[in-house]
């Protein structure tokens, strides 16, 4: 088989690493890929949003199966276009991907299909949104309606913070058109976890749960990021909680999308809050989560390509999971998620006996691998338990302690150890 992976980040590198385990796959292409993927796959200089070029490449290189990582091409209709050309692709249609592409659509959808989530209001005018904040008080959550690379959510501890977030999104246009409409939600108290599932129509096959750490700094302080680390499974998320979330959230979402004429094929991701009333949806994504993918897929015993082919064909993939734990910590450029320097040399990027390295914001140069983004790489480890995995990862990351160009959280998974 020839397989094409669309994307350039850590999630896509993790997907490539899993696909490489299959002897059935002869060639893996990644468009555009990054410096770290070059040793595992053939990187192709095609932007993930250049769907015409991707289609042409797939035809010219006899690509048998395409896997899409990031959200933007999904919402641009890459699955629709590939399917129209007779090309096999593992990705939801543009219509189904709207569940992630529009927060207001997702909230209305959840209300219609009685999927547990926070109460909310949608606004297209800043002044009306600010009046609502004055009425509701804080803490409260402000979300840009459109795609904002995981950064369009502000958990405002005070009314002043909430009003500043509204100005950033709607007046200053920090997220361009993504913030022209916003959703304001009640603050949910509890602990977060992520539950991803392979989905085709009404069929839902949940993965092992993971927990992401969104805030930039230790003790969940600082601004929201795309994710600073994750671990799986999650000790406090019981089988009963997973069963409830699967039935009342993932299954209802899959069934609702079919009913709406938006039948879903691909990865459905539920970002959940375990509240006193049970799990409630914080957000839906319509693709593999990042960095959750980097710690969930290493625990999958099945061949990833077999699972995806089974799901597309309407067959039960019979998922099997290792009785181990995986923990990963993101190394980020100092200044992220704000401004930061690029092209800084990386002292340690090689896998070891205990750790694997998933590259995200990196670039290959004549001098070696250098940084090329905010989240640079993730160091992960699979161990008999979270403690063993954590010890291995943090031992590896000591190589970066004296380097002021990078930082990482020292407490990933700490609350569950």
Q: What architecture is the 2-91 domain classified under in CATH?
A: 3-Layer(aba) Sandwich (3.40)
Q: Using a CB cutoff of 8 Å and minimum separation of 24, what contacts does 101-105 make?
A: 101/71, 101/74, 101/75, 101/146, 101/147, 101/286, 102/145, 102/146, 103/143, 103/144, 103/145, 103/146, 103/183, 103/283, 104/145, 104/181, 104/183
CATH H superfamily, domain 125-180: ATP-grasp fold, A domain (3.30.1490.20)
Which CATH architecture best describes the domain 191-313?
2-Layer Sandwich (3.30)
pLDDT tens for the chain, 417 residues long, are 999 999 999 999 999 999 999 999 999 999 999 988 988 999 999 999 999 999 999 999 999 999 999 999 999 999 999 999 999 999 999 999 999 999 999 999 999 999 999 999 999 999 999 999 999 999 999 999 999 877 789 999 999 999 999 999 999 999 999 999 999 999 999 999 999 999 999 999 999 999 999 999 999 999 888 899 999 999 999 999 999 999 999 999 999 999 999 999 999 999 999 999 999 999 999 999 999 999 999 999 999 999 999 999 999 999 999 999 999 999 999 999 999 999 999 987 899 999 999 999 999 888 889 999 999 999 999 999 999 999 999 999 999 999 999 999 999 999 888
Residues 6+ apart with CB under 8 A from 20: 28, 40, 41
What fold does the segment set 325-416 form as a domain? 3.90.600
Domain ranges in the chain? Answer: 2-91, 125-180, 191-313, 325-416
Tokens of 221: 């302080």
């Amino acid at each position: 088989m020839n397989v094409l992976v669309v994307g350039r980040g850590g999630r896509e590198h993790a997907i490539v690493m899993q696909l490489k385990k299959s002897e059935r796959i002869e060639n893996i292409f990644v468009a555009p890929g990054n410096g770290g993927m070059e040793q595992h796959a053939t990187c192709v200089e095609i932007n993930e949003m250049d769907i015409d070029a991707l289609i042409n490449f797939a035809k010219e290189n006899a690509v048998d199966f395409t896997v899409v990582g990031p959200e933007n091409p999904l919402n641009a209709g890459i699955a629709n276009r590939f399917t129209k050309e007779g090309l096999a692709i593992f990705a939801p249609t543009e219509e189904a991907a709207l569940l992630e592409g529009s927060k207001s659509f997702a909230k209305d959808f959840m209300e219609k299909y009685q999927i547990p989530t926070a109460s909310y209001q949608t606004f297209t005018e800043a002044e009306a949104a600010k009046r609502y904040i004055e009425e509701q008080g804080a803490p409260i959550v402000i979300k840009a309606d459109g795609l904002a690379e995981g950064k369009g959510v502000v958990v405002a501890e005070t009314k002043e913070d909430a009003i500043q977030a509204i100005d950033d999104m709607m007046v200053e246009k920090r997220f361009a058109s993504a913030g022209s409409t916003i959703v304001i939600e009640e603050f949910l108290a509890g602990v977060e976890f992520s539950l991803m599932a392979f989905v085709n129509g009404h069929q839902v096959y949940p993965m092992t749960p993971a927990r992401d750490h969104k805030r930039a700094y230790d003790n969940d302080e600082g601004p929201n990021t795309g994710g600073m680390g994750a671990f799986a499974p999650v000790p406090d998320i019981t089988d009963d909680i997973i069963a409830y979330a699967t039935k009342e959230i993932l299954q209802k979402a899959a069934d609702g999308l079919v009913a709406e004429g938006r039948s879903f094929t691909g990865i459905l991701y539920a970002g959940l809050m375990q509240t006193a009333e049970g799990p409630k949806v914080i957000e839906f994504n319509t693709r593999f989560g990042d960095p959750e993918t980097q710690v969930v897929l290493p625990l999958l015993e099945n061949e990833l390509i077999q699972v995806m082919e089974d799901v597309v064909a309407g067959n039960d993939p019979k998922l099997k999971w290792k009785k181990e734990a995986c923990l990963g910590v993101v190394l980020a450029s100092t200044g992220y998620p704000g401004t930061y320097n690029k092209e800084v040399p990386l002292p340690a990027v090689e896998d070891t006996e205990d750790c694997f390295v998933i590259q995200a914001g990196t670039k290959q140069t004549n001098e070696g691998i250098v940084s090329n983004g905010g989240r640079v790489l993730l160091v992960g480890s699979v161990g008999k338990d979270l403690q063993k995995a954590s010890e291995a990862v943090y031992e590896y990351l000591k190589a970066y302690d004296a380097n002021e160009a990078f930082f990482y959280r020292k407490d990933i998974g700490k609350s569950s150890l």
